[in-house]
Amino acid sequence: MTIQIVPLGAGQDVGRSCILVTIGGKNIMLDCGMHMGFNDERRFPDFSYISKTGDFTEMLDCVIISHFHLDHCGALPFFTEMCGYDGNIYMTHPTKAICPILLEDYRKITVDKKGERNFFTSQDIKNCMKKVIAVNLHQTIMVDDDLEICAYYAGHVLGAAMFYIRVGEESLVYTGDYNMTPDRHLGSAWIDKVKPDVLITESTYATTIRDSKRSRERDFLKKVHDCVAGGGNVIIPVFALGRAQELCILIETYWDRMDLKVPIYFSAGLTEKANHFYRLFINWTNEKIKSTFVHRNMFDFKHIRAWDRAYIDNPGPMVVFATPGMLHSGTSLELFKKWAPDPKNMVIMPGFCVAGTVGSRVLAGEKHIKTDSFTTIEVNLQVKNLSFSAHADAKGIMQLIRQCDAKNVVLVHGEKSSMGFLKSRIMTEFGIPCFDPANGTTVSIETSHVIPIEMSASLLKQHLIRQTETQDPGMTTSSSPEHSSSDDSSEQPDVKTPVDIRPSDKVLIQGMLVMDDGKPIRLEDADEVLEKVGMVNHKVRFEVRKAYNATALRRAVENAELNESQQGISAMDTDADESQIGDSYQEWDSDRFALNLVHVALERSIGKQIKVVREKEDDSIAIRSVKIRAPTDKDEFERGGLLVGWDYRDEDLATRVLSIVTLALSANR
Amino acid sequence: MRLTSLLPDGEPNCLVLKVRQMLIMLDCGLGQEQLYAMPVREGGLTEDHKDNNSNTTTTGSTADNSTAGSKRKFAETDIRQDWASFLKASSIQFPTKKMARGSNSQPSHSSKITSSTTGTTSSGSTSTADGTIPIAHNNIPSKFMSTREYMFKLPDFSGVDLKAIDVVLISNYNHILALPYLTEYTDFQGRIFATEPTIEFGRQLMIEFVTFFGTSVTSSPHEIIDRKELMARAGAGLYPAYTHADIKACIDKIQPVRFREHISLFGSLKLTAHSAGYCLGSSNWLIQIGTENIAYVSSSSTQGNLHPDLFDGTLMENASTVVATDLCPRGSFTYNTGVNLVCQSIASTIARKGNVLIPCTISGFLFDLLEDVHLHLNRMGLIGQVQYSFISPVADTALQYSNILAEWMAPRKQEMVYIPEAPLLHGILLEKEKGIAKHYKSVHGAFSSDLKLPCIVFGGHPSLRSGPMVNLLHMWGNKPTNTIVFIEPRMDVVAAMEPYENLAIAQQAVQLDIRLSIDQLVEVMNKYRHPRHILVPMRAIASTLADGTVELADAKRTTSTSSTRWSAYKVGESVQLGMGSLYESVLLSEELAKGILPQAFGNVSFAPIAGSLSIYNNQMQLKPASVQGRQLLSLYTQRLLLGVMNLPHLLAGLTAIGVTNIEVSESEGKEEKETGVPEIKIDFELQGQTATIILREKETIVKCDENIRSLLREPILKCFQSF
């Protein structure tokens, strides 16, 4: 079986995450993001790869969205409403709650401000969200009879999740974006040891080892602090949800700790509503916030107050979070216009800006920005661009690979050069294959296929008992059987080595697989099964005569013994010896002699694995149904030789016994 | 499999299930009935520690009650003075409720100690009608009464090897109260699973329990007593309530799970929680051992329009055994009727400017009821005047926590958070500026100063033996305009009100029960493939019988159809069930699977298989055996021949391999007399050697020389289907 992975976006690139996976015959789309850096059709993933005719619902079994960032969910309304995908979409509860708001924000910029047509509408977003099935962490969802998915906490943003996908015995983990170190309001990513065949992991910070987020936070706070200490105003253009709350918590706690009195404002009525989302999803934040929320909700900010337009002329330093995030309209633009000329002030751009917006021109370093034909903004204030996304660093990625015990790793969502470095590190450290496919290229990964069956417990018990009774436990470990069947084994005393005390980890099993349509495949005791279905077992018994040359045999044996004794005692009189043999031949029972030889040989070769019985009455040897005896009636006696009989059931055993007997009775020693 | 119930029917659940080698405890509830036999304690543990004399003042203020109240009280001695007598008293079995209600019961020796140590004379000591338990009516000085310790009888752990319990599964917060006893005072070392809300609400219930019934603050010397040792010595007797430290330690040991999260233990045990629809996080458990599926159906509800996530019946799909517990007794109101009654009762009380007391825990269907009540009052135009108060040591936490659990709610409620809005109404009512609803830790402090009449108070302990309801009953109990409404389903209203029987307060018992009734259970069951066994509590079956309707019941209190067997269990009796043939899950490796040759017999195919079974990471895998393993396996291989011997077929086969001088003769062996089929003997020569084949009905015997037997094997095997 193979698992196929095709990145439609985010292959050796950051942005527009969209990965197609074929596993166990199921097609799954992981994330459906947009690229913020493009304004043309490259903005969305190339869905025509999936289907030229556009019957996406037919082709895909489900779409999974890992978190609410637009580079992971931005193309979803386009895909469902404009491309016509109508199948299952899965995301976590907070993602489902927050994602439409971000989509709406983005839609407003592209359509309302830039006048783009052919873009999804507000109604599209609403319709799209109606198709979404919200999932809880660790909850196993059966998409259909074979495909099962399960979300794990990823810690990147509120509601971010990693997804474990399983079809039959093949499995895959898609991490989305994740963070292995807990931060101010989120916990760290965690996954069970699910042993996926493939782990598809982001690799944004593939080459970074240090805890980069902490230092960036410190950096940010220091800059803000310095600016307000110098009497400047700080404007932070944000969107109402997501980063805004992260930054608010950051500043709030810093203000608390440093006991700063400089006012902080948050513009737009959305704030309350946005914070309310976070309050309702306290369960998805970290343990600390969760345990204290009853007394003090982290999202009820003490220092942060609602912005009022009248404050704009207030003297003295202040920090303002203003919407929207790309400085293209509203409060943020108004404030920017006012404060831009003063070099004491500062603007901090915590996110990405669409090309053409004031924000992107500020970031590009333009000093004179013409917003319309009448106004030109003099940009003198300090401009900082800080990203606060929490991603796993190289150490974190390695940690996750270890944690889930992946068999293959596929890197996406990262720069090509840094991926290469991580790739080689993963391959050397874990000794597992690692891939970094480019967009549109396919990675095929072979998986070993196993079939789940049900084994009768009584059959297992029966074999376990047989193993402990008839075999020396050491036998079960691979090397021993050969060892014990070698001729010198009888000379070894029955000493149990310490190793033998260990319970055996391997049991040899024989049985009958029963395959009945619609029922699980079962492994049962062969006889029981056939009895159940009413099959007649026919008994076939073989009775064969094993001829041997008695005299030659005896001579050969005695010669062999002689040879042995000659090792110690030097030359014996061979003539005397010969005559002795001649005498005893009169009384000699050749069959008994042969049986003895056979018995010894059998005990030596297979006696440890199977019980060899010597019957007292007729001196015969019995191993299960195999019986070796001397001739009894006259007819048999005249023909000579030993008689070996067995049921066809024991054909394999009999074949083995016969070969041992042949060897034991051969005169060529 | 063996199932034993450790608590009587009608009480919270506590069962022990033994399946194969696993010992699983299903829930760990604490019997509530015993509470009614206990004396009333004023106000629980108050922060200002004024408990010391509260009992005396209480008795004084409600003079009518004082005799009735004290009659019910245990005449224990001051525990601080005499631990020996305490222990002795502990070892006496707790009186049954019936006894306790009829008269007070008290061990005679302890009354002796009472008199000797305190110098008070017992006012009377008589015996009950059956004369087994002596009774004492004591007027114990208040000094001793105030230090009274509540004692609890645990589920009957005596017959269970607690150390051997592998797993404890908790279904919802109602069935968790005895857990700290298990984890903190015994040598239990298993694992505990519950959903996140169950853990949180369970913790809150425990805190409430300790606050209401815990060691009173005045008896601090308890702290120096080794409680563990006390537990060990007390055997199956009575125990004091645990402590806050115990709760924390116990809660920390529980592993949180979500619905449909697969938990795999010891390789063979799989556990999955499924939504039960009863309260936030209420779960039913699917227990899979090997290939055996057991569904544990605890408090569940199929009632529509409630806030918890809907009942998820899929766990019954593949269950071979269903253990149903906590069923709704017959003859209760339907929920909707009940809610209407409650609303009416509240509205009429408010209309006459009376106050409403609703003793209940702040969780479960209360959140739904609150919405209905609010809506009703709104419709009646009474909303402006009313104030809701929630009084409980955990009121704040419970109210706030319940509103962040949207993931655990019904889809209707889940939608709310996308607006975003608090999914449960009280989130809005509690907003400070509105001031419609308030919550308090206890009746002391802010409650009285904030009080705005009329008022609807939720909280306290339904038993009315401790907590804020006791104070409020003293405050408002003698006015007939006020109403006390009982809504909790598991309680005994008559017993609860016994100490207050002379109060003028209007009483309304509308016990809202959303749990599954046996009929609903049957309905649910009918949707899925029928399990082999269904185990229900004895009471459920008994009432069915009395009803005489359901086809479920036969004389043996089991209700079995051809495919399904119904059995009843009751406390102290274990039910033993056969499990049928057992199977283990094994993974068959691709390499081995490639080599098998299935042969079809009708719809079923068979394929002999031999390999080496390895156990790695608790997963069994069947792989091809090593070379040595194969050698070894061949010794044990059992070949099979299926079918009937066909003579012409055999002869043709023999000729084909070059057999000459074939002579077929029928002889009259002794077999013939039994079977009627003659024995056929075939003599022939092959490669110059004579050989014989004898055919009997079910047997073929081949006699030949060793060197030609492999040649002869082929034509014989061709007559059969062989493995």
Q: Domain residue spans in chain B?
A: 2-26+159-210+247-329+515-576, 335-509, 586-636, 641-722
User: What pLDDT, on a 0 to 100 scale, did the predictor assign at position B676?
Assistant: 64
Q: How many angstroms from the chain centroid is the CA of residue B243?
A: 24
What integer pLDDT is reported at residue B128 of this predicted model? 34
With CB atoms and an 8 Å threshold, state whether B588 touches A281.
no
Say if domain B2-26+159-210+247-329+515-576 classifies as CATH 3.60.15.10.
yes
Q: Which residues of B touch A452 (CB under 8 A)?
A: 585-588
Amino acid at A641: G
pLDDT at B71 (0 to 100): 36
Of the given ranges (A353-357, A482-486, B264-268, B287-291), which has the lowest mean pLDDT?
A482-486
Average pLDDT over every residue of A534-555: 80
Confidence of residue A124 (pLDDT cuts 50, 70, 90): very high
Q: pLDDT at residue B311 above 60?
A: yes
Q: In this predicted model, what pLDDT tens digit does every residue of B355-403 receive, in sequence order? A: 999 999 998 899 999 999 999 998 888 877 788 999 999 998 999 899 8
Nearest CA in chain A to B275: A139
Per-residue pLDDT tens over the stretch B124-146: 333 333 333 333 333 333 333 33
Q: How confident is the model at residue A167 (pLDDT cuts 50, 70, 90)?
A: very high
**Fold category of B335-509 in CATH:** Rossmann fold (3.40.50)
pTM of the model: 0.78
A530 has pLDDT over 90 = no
Q: Closest Cα to residue B227, out of B194, B181, B267?
A: B181
Residues 571-610 of A with CB under 8 A from B: 606, 609-610
Cβ distance of A450 and B587 shorter than 8 Å: yes
The 10s digit of each residue's pLDDT in A284-327 is: 888 888 888 888 777 788 888 888 888 888 887 899 988 777 78
Residues 600-659 of chain A whose Cβ lies under 8 A from any Cβ of chain B: 606, 609-610, 644, 648-653, 656, 658
Measured distance CA(A617)–CA(B486) in Å, rounded: 87
Tell which wins on pLDDT, B400 or A387.
Answer: B400
- Over chain A, what is the mean pLDDT? 82
Of the listed ranges A271-280, A446-455, B89-98, the one predicted with least confidence: B89-98
pLDDT in tens, A49-66: 888 888 899 999 999 999
Tell me the H-state helices in A259-317: 270-280, 287-292
Write down the mean pLDDT value for chain B. 76
Query: Which tokens sit at B225?
Result: 């007593």
pLDDT tens, residue by residue, B606-644:
888 888 888 776 678 888 888 878 877 877 787 877 777
ipTM: 0.75
Q: Give percent of chain B above pLDDT 70.
A: 76
Tell me if A510 and B636 make a contact (CB, 8 A cut-off).
yes
Phi, then psi, of A184 in degrees rounded to 5:
-60, -40
Q: Is B406 helix (H, G, I), strand (E, B) or coil?
A: helix
Q: Once rounded to an integer, what is the mean pLDDT over residues A414-430?
A: 89
Interface probe for B, chosen from A458, A513, A548 (most Cβ of B below 10 Å), is A513
Cβ proximity of A381 and A347 under 8 Å: yes
| Domains within chain A, CATH numbers bracketed | 2-209+393-445 (3.60.15.10), 212-385 (3.40.50.10890), 454-533 (no CATH), 541-665 (no CATH)
- pLDDT, position A211: 58
B98 has pLDDT over 60: no
- Which residue did the predictor score with more confidence, A115 or B538? B538
Closest to B96 in 3D by CA, of B469, B536, B571, B470: B571
User: In the prediction, which pLDDT does B42 show?
Assistant: 63
Q: Nearest CB to A139: which of B259, B583, B720?
A: B259
Q: Which chain B residues are closer than 8 Å to A294 by Cβ? A: 396-397, 400-401
Confidence of residue A461 (pLDDT cuts 50, 70, 90): confident
Tokens standing for residue B514: 């959303």
Mean pLDDT of A36-47: 80
Q: Residue B300: count other Cβ atoms within 10 Å of its Cβ.
A: 30
In the 3-class helix/strand/coil scheme, how is B473-504 assigned residue by residue? HHHHCCCCCCEEEECCCCCCHHHHHHHHCCCC
A139 and B261: CB-CB below 8 Å? yes
- Regarding predicted confidence, which is higher, B226 or B699? B699
**B476 vs chain A: nearest CA distance in angstroms?**
31
At B313, list the tokens: 């019946």
In this prediction, residue A137 carries a pLDDT of 92
Spatial CA neighbour of A18 closest among A437, A447, A445, A444: A437
Catalytically active residues of A are 202
- For residue A512, the distance in angstroms to the closest alpha carbon of chain B comes to 4
A positions 253-312 inside 8 Å of B (CB): 273, 276-277, 279-283, 293-294
8 A C-beta contact, residue B307 and residue B422: no
pLDDT digits over B50-87, tens only? Answer: 333 333 333 333 333 333 333 333 333 333 333 333 33
pLDDT at B230: 57
- How far is A304 from A39, CA to CA, in rounded Å? 35
Given a cut of 80, is residue A19 above it in pLDDT?
A: yes
A491-529 residue pLDDT tens? 444 444 444 444 556 788 888 888 887 778 888 888 888
More confidently predicted of A113 and B177: B177
**% of chain B residues with pLDDT over 90:** 20
The span from the CA of A135 to the CA of A95, in Å, is 10
Q: Looking at the predicted structure, is the pLDDT value of residue B48 above 60?
A: no
Burial B394-430 (b: 16+ CB within 10 A, else e): bbbbbbbbbbbbbbbbbeebbebbbebebbbbbbebb
Place of tokens 């509590």: B537
Q: Which two tokens stand for residue B565?
A: 């067997």
Closest-CA residue of chain B to A297? B400
Average pLDDT (A17-40) is 88
